[in-house]
Amino acid sequence: MDSRRMGRDLDKVLLSAEQIDQRLGEMAAAIDADYAGRELLLVGVLKGAVMVMADLSRKLSLDARMDWMAVSSYGSGTKSSGVVRIIKDLDTDLTGRHVLIVEDIVDSGLTLSWLVANLRSRGPASVEIAALLRKPSEAKVHVDVRYCGFDIPGEFVVGYGLDYDERYRSLPFVGTLAPHVYA
């Protein structure tokens, strides 16, 4: 993306690349300790969790398997409704597996609470969540995020995998958009 245009589109940087990198290191250390001696399956939720999955998994000492799901949450604009449709399902049979869902952000929690229930119904040994970001002020349902990167304010954010209309995913940091972008 043209860097001058991107500069105009952004309002502020919320989390720098360095902050994200450091926090993912701490999360990976906790995951390594908790899953030592067990086989772990990381389930990434496309497309937003691509960056978190790539960076978090490379910080793990344990050799985790990886699989991906794509879900679509019906809703208007930037809000989800909790009515979720599977666009791409897992290739892996979850029976007896320790599953760690890797997510970019927990907003209302509706998508993840549906996903956890869906994966639990497949007979895994355990299902936990790792999410880089969480917006406590927006929570509509309680979701137990075992590994959370950062609690952030209830603003719409982009970057580090998160998009607005499929743009800004490749930014190495997390930031907010200038109001004119939404107009």
Q: What amino acid occupies position 13?
A: V
Site for ligand 5GP (CB under 6 A): which residue of 111, 115, 129, 160?
Answer: 111
Of 14-22, 23-31, 58-66, 100-108, the window that binds ligand 5GP (rule: CB under 6 A) is 100-108
Contact 94, 41 (CB under 8 A): yes
Nearest approach, Cβ of 105 to ligand 5GP (angstroms)?
A: 5
3-class SS at 86? strand
Q: Which is nearer to ligand 5GP, 109 or 124 (CB)?
A: 109
Q: In what order do the strands lie in the sheet with 147-151?
A: 84-88, 65-73, 40-46, 98-106, 126-134, 147-151
Nearest to 97 by CA among 57, 67, 127: 127
Give Cα 43 to chain centroid, integer Å.
10
State how far the Cα of 27 lies from the Cα of 42, in Å rounded to an integer: 14
Q: Do strands 10-15 and 147-151 pair parallel, antiparallel, or not at all (unpaired)?
A: unpaired
Applying CB under 6 A, among 14, 40, 64, 105 the residue interacting with ligand 5GP is 105
Shortest distance, position 104 Cβ to ligand 5GP, whole Å: 6
From 91, 107, 151, 163, the catalytic residue: 107
Is residue 11 flagged as an active site residue? no
Q: Is 57 in the site for ligand 5GP (CB under 6 A)?
A: no
Least Å distance, CB 111 to ligand 5GP, is 3
Query: Quick check: 163 binds ligand 5GP (CB under 6 A)?
Result: yes
Considering only 5-13, 36-44, 58-66, 107-115, which stretch makes contact with ligand 5GP by CB under 6 A? 107-115
